[in-house]
């Protein structure tokens, strides 16, 4: 379970799709540049290679993350100086889903690595040690990027910030690891929903590839933001269980997050209304109101 809360915490989630360039290089599929039909063929080539013989062709098997392209990163940045009031901010990449240049994978990863490398926050995710962190590292290497401080490592994990050791470092927190192993490990949707926190709303991870093919980058970012809010609320609940947030501080954390949701909705992110409505519904259903 959680052992400490640092002054800066980033509860984040990453969305990715099969990488058409991976299929072009490894399976000699046609270039998908500017062609959604060729991109679809590339996706299918990668899925087909990963399917078991007995699996139906409609199945989208989980691909090794190195074969995938990052299309969105979202998170809740929490800054809280000792003795101060937590400040929460929603961070979403790409910053402009309508600008193709800002949607480039290299741009997304560079922005993430630079920000994390500079601020050194405690990274919090769900299954992030097995998926989100590895894909960021793998795709950064494939894109020929430096670590921008993210890749700095202390001699021993407990002597400083280490994003490569989720077992021993307090800066790489995978909430899933604290909730169970193997068959007893819940999904984010299960753990959140049963706790009165919105889980998956309208979209699941399996839908992202099709959404990307249809040019729905804005909708992918919106879905990613849902998961970011969910992850932060689950983190706060687990921090409360771990004795790191008092009951009053835990209630305050939820109030601050709700205020952030309301501010984002007022700024134009009306999709977050669904999150608030689902939160209210689940809080009532689980007897927490």
Q: What is the DSSP letter of 29?
A: P
pLDDT in tens, 173-223: 999 999 988 888 999 999 999 999 999 887 766 789 999 999 999 999 999
pLDDT band at residue 28, thresholds of 50, 70 and 90? very high
Closest-CA residue to 213 (of 21, 96, 38, 72):
38
* CATH code of the region 8-285: 3.30.420.10
CA 187 to chain CA centroid, nearest Å: 14
Give tens-digit pLDDT for 101-160: 999 999 999 999 999 999 999 999 999 999 999 999 999 999 999 999 999 999 887 789
Classify each residue of 89-122 as buried b or exposed e, where b means 16 or more C-beta atoms within 10 Å of its C-beta. ebbbbbeebeeeeebebebbbbbbbbbbbeebbb
Q: In a 10 Å sphere around its CB, with 0-12 CB exposed, 13-18 middle and 19+ buried, how is residue 124 labelled?
A: buried
Closest Cα to residue 260, out of 247, 275, 245, 238? Answer: 275
Domain residue ranges of the chain, discontinuous segments joined by +:
8-285
């Amino acid at each position: 379970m959680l052992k400490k809360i640092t002054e800066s915490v980033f509860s984040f989630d990453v969305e990715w799709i099969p990488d058409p360039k991976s299929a072009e290089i490894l399976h000699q599929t046609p270039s998908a540049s500017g062609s959604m039909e060729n991109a679809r063929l590339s996706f299918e080539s990668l899925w087909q290679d990963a399917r078991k013989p007995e699996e139906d062709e409609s199945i989208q098997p989980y691909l090794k993350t190195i074969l995938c392209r990052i299309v969105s990163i979202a998170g809740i940045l929490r800054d809280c100086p000792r003795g101060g009031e937590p400040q929460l901010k929603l961070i979403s990449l790409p910053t402009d889903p309508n600008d193709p240049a800002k949607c480039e994978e290299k741009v997304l990863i560079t922005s993430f690595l630079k920000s994390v490398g500079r601020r050194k926050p405690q990274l919090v995710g769900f299954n992030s040690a097995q998926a989100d962190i590895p894909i960021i590292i793998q795709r950064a290497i494939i894109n020929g990027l430096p670590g921008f401080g993210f890749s700095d490592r202390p001699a021993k994990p407990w002597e400083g910030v280490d994003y490569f050791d989720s077992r021993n470092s307090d800066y790489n927190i995978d909430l899933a690891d604290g909730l169970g192993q193997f068959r007893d490990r819940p999904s984010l949707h299960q753990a959140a929903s049963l706790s009165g926190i919105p889980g998956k709303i309208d979209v699941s991870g399996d839908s992202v590839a099709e959404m990307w093919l249809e040019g729905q980058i804005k909708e992918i970012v919106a879905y990613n933001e849902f998961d970011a809010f969910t992850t932060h609320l689950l983190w706060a609940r687990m921090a409360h269980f771990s004795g790191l947030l008092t009951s009053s501080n835990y209630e305050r954390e939820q109030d601050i997050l709700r205020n952030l949701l309301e501010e984002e909705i007022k700024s134009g992110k009306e999709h977050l209304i669904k999150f608030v409505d689902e939160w209210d519904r689940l809080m009532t259903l689980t007897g927490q109101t």
